[in-house]
Amino acid sequence: MDTASLLVDYSTNNLKHDWNLDSVLQLFELPFTDLIFFAQQSHRMFFDPNKVQTSTLLSIKTGACPEDCKYCPQSGHYNTGLKKEKLLQVQAVIEEAKKAKAAGATRFCMGAAWKNPPAKEMPYLQAMINGVKQLGLETCMTLGTLTKNQATALATAGLDFYNHNLDTSEEFYSNIITTRTYSERLQTLSNVRQSGINVCSGGILGMGESVADRASMLIQLANMPKHPESVPINMLVKVKGTPLENIKDLDGIDFVRTIAVAKIMMPKSYVRLSAGRQQMTNELQALCFVAGANSIFLGDKLLTTKNPEASEDMQLFKKLGITTFSTFNDNNKQSEITTSVTSKKNSNKLYYDATTASV
């Protein structure tokens, strides 16, 4: 297969926004080692390959969500035995952020199980953003859909990132969620982008979707006018009491392939290895890093599901020779990295021109 036509010449720093299903499926079908090799090439054009960004995620309002996302223990539609909690006090959130910083996180993400943040809670959310920023941490929130005005209010408070996942392809979406439309999701992402907040958006694998669905979801993200700065790729955590609790396990290699394709399509984005790490071996996580994942959540909990202990992550990083980015802004020196890589490219065989490669 001639892969040259599938790959993008990133040496000009231009990103591609017109992916089509055929070309993305061809990437998915590449021999594994070729796919990983191309993903590494894309990754090294824009990032230090031995650095990973670390965030911590706190649930600031838990459970009783009116949405019916079939994977989610926080949905009020399913009985998962989850303890519901109202919005946490601002000071309690700030104390958790201090702990996250001490454990090595550089970004603090706050998640609330809402359809849309209630107006009466907005001042508290703004105070949380303010307090967490004062600790020197980047801030991220995931609160459901956002109107333009809400996105602007959060941006004004200084919010750095907003997470709103597409979850899956538009075609498969109605199998997973019926209470919120795909276009509402896209509208929220557009509102976030227009407000100037960095966009964090990705999906969940292992919900019964096809490879074409994974490709289609990545196309939605990569064909946006600007790629999301952060692309979380989650492995489904099968929670008892949710409709997906007994679904077939996702194959680890299929998961790595999706990370690699995401990195080739959106090479400048941080691809986050998100939920599901608890059920992955160190070797599978290492393969994900090799495929271009360069962001993780630290901490023993992800909203309501388990995550590896921070100390386990640090041990794995040490084994792999990985260090962490200090902050997004500090380390998002992509033009600098690109320049350095481009100059290395001429003298170092680790870097070769993907556009002339064929297998």
Rounded to the nearest whole angstrom, what is the least distance from the CB of residue 46 to ligand SF4 in the complex? 30
Using CB under 6 A as the binding rule, whether residue 59 contacts ligand SF4 is answered as no
Active centre residues (catalytic): 65, 69, 72, 109, 140, 200, 272
Nearest-approach distance from CB 83 to ligand SF4, in angstroms: 14
User: Minimum CB separation from ligand SF4 for residue 93, in Å?
Assistant: 17
Select from 53, 54, 55, 75 the one that contacts ligand SF4 (CB under 6 A). Answer: 75
**Of the listed pieces 22-30, 65-73, 220-228, 335-343, which binds ligand SF4 according to CB under 6 A?**
65-73
What is the number of alpha carbons within 13 Å of residue 37 lying toward its C-beta?
Answer: 16
Regarding 69 and contact with ligand SF4 (CB under 6 A), the answer is: yes
> Which CA distances in Å does 56 have to 105, 143, 300, 359?
6, 16, 9, 41
Piece of the chain touching ligand SF4 by CB under 6 A; list 71-79, 121-129, 292-300, 304-312: 71-79
Q: Long-range contacts made by residues 316-324, C-beta under 8 angstroms, separation at least 24?
A: 316/282, 316/285, 316/286, 317/52, 319/282, 320/50, 320/286, 320/289, 321/50, 322/50, 322/51, 322/52, 322/289, 323/50, 323/51, 323/52, 324/51, 324/52, 324/53, 324/54, 324/104, 324/106
CB of 164 to ligand SF4, least distance (A): 9
Among 268, 290, 288, residue whose Cα is nearest residue 338:
268
What number of CA atoms fall less than 13 Å from residue 23's CA on the CB side? 18
Task: For residue 215, state whether it binds ligand SF4 (rule: CB under 6 A).
Answer: no
Among residue numbers 134 through 193, which ones bind ligand SF4 (CB under 6 A)?
144
By CB under 6 A, residue 67 contacts ligand SF4: yes
Contact status: 74 vs ligand SF4 (CB under 6 A): yes
Structure tokens at 26: 């061809």
User: 285, 12 in Cβ contact below 8 A?
Assistant: no
- Among 52, 57, 90, 113, interactor with ligand SF4 by CB under 6 A: 113
Query: Which residues here bind ligand SF4, judged by CB under 6 A?
Result: 65, 67, 69, 72, 74-75, 113, 144
